[in-house]
Amino acid sequence: MKNSAKRINLGITLLVGATLCLIAVTKAEATVSFVKSEDSATPVVQDLSKTRTSIAVDSKDSRSHAPEPTTLALIGGSLISMIMSFLRRTYFLAKRAVDVTGAAIGLILLSPLLLITSILIKLTSKGPIFYSQVRVGKNGKHFEIYKFRTMKVDAEKGTGPVWASKNDNRLTPIGGILRKARIDEIPQFVNVLRGDMSLVGPRPERPMFVEQLKNQISGYEKRLDVKPGITGLAQVWHNYDETIEDVRKKIKYDVLYIRKACFWTDVRILLRTFKVVFTGAGAR
């Protein structure tokens, strides 16, 4: 009996011990598995966090890199301005080349006419063949313009500077013919070669008149933005200046030419000039 009781107590003790060991092992595995699952999840969470951060950064970068409409407008405006500036500079460079070539050819081809005119001036009136006068050029620069003399010596001694008029009694015997045919302007090819003038442009005015007209006509200075010319839009479409209203009209032509200046405009003015020369339209 005693042996049986001992055996039963030993069995119960072993059973309780086994149960406790099993419970301890189960708790340990659960703890280990929880720790492992938490450790394995951490990289995933970190990767997801990095991905969200990367997406946010990329979205911000994409917004910052995308040009706005105002930026595109500014870029487009700057590009157009650069192109227009380049074309403008190219036009003036080419215009200068045409001026030099045209003036040189003009002097050579018209040399017989220059000689005949010089002889006639000498035979019909006292005084020099050529006449120089101070005029206002580009940006207000003063220069001496050259012309065949068409007036008597000291013609303005009693009157002072005045505009030319129809049937001007200050003209020499052949002065009216020279003016009507625009022959008196031929020596200005020398001014073109010197760079004071161009073949086409607003006609240069005398300093005294420029100062007066600046105060009387708004925007008169605009015609000084380019080189003056032997012929111009106002010269082929408008008469000589006799009144302040004539000058106002001429200024409109000059400003229009400056705005529309191009090779085609210059060619049209030159062709129109030949017509004016042969018909004598608007001469004084």
pLDDT tens readout for residues 123-134: 999 899 999 999
Contact 148, 130 (CB under 8 A): yes
Average pLDDT over residues 75-84: 70
For the beta carbon of residue 268, count every other beta carbon within 10 angstroms: 14
Question: How far is Cα 143 from Cα 134, in angstroms, rounded to an integer?
Answer: 6
10 and 124 both lie in a single domain:
no
Residue 153 is predicted with a pLDDT of: 80
User: Which residue did the predictor score with more confidence, 157 or 188?
Assistant: 188
Task: Fill in the amino acid letter for 142.
Answer: H
Task: Give the total residue count for the chain.
Answer: 284
**Domains: count for the chain:** 2
3-state secondary structure of 11: helix
Find tokens 């280990």 and name the residue.
32
Instruction: Indicate whether 89 pLDDT > 50.
Output: yes
Residue 188 is predicted with a pLDDT of: 96
Domain-located, residue 79: no
* Dihedral angle computed from the Cα positions of residues 228, 229, 233 and 235, in that order, rounded to the nearest 10 degrees: 110
98 and 200 both lie in a single domain:
yes
Q: What's the mean pLDDT when you consider all of the chain?
A: 76
154 and 37 both lie in a single domain:
no
**2: containing domain:** 1-57
Quickly state the pLDDT bin for 55 (edges 50, 70, 90): very low
Instruction: Indicate whether 266 pLDDT > 60.
Output: yes
Inter-CA distances, 65 with 51, 68, 79, Å: 20, 9, 20
Inter-CA distances, 36 with 29, 33, 177, Å: 10, 5, 115
Average pLDDT over residues 229-249: 81
Average pLDDT over residues 213-225: 87
46 and 109 both lie in a single domain:
no
Domain-located, residue 69: no
Residue 227 is predicted with a pLDDT of: 94
Average pLDDT over residues 57-67: 51
User: Which residue did the predictor score with more confidence, 266 or 164?
Assistant: 266
Share of the chain above pLDDT 90, in %: 34
46 and 164 both lie in a single domain:
no
User: Which residue did the predictor score with more confidence, 232 or 41?
Assistant: 232
Average pLDDT over residues 140-161: 81
Residue 212 is predicted with a pLDDT of: 86
Domain-located, residue 199: yes
Domain-located, residue 63: no
104 and 52 both lie in a single domain:
no
Q: What tokens were used for 206? A: 């005398």
Helices (H), the chain: 2-65, 69-109, 111-124, 175-180, 188-194, 207-216, 233-237, 244-260, 263-279
Q: Which of 183, 187, 186, 156 is nearest to 169 (CA)?
A: 156
Question: How far is Cα 225 from Cα 227, in angstroms, rounded to an integer?
Answer: 7
Average pLDDT over residues 275-281: 74
162 and 29 both lie in a single domain:
no
Provide φ and ψ at 214, rounded to 5°. Answer: -60, -35
Instruction: Indicate whether 140 pLDDT > 80.
Output: yes
169 and 272 both lie in a single domain:
yes
Domain-located, residue 66: no
Residue 280 is predicted with a pLDDT of: 62
Instruction: Indicate whether 15 pLDDT > 80.
Output: no
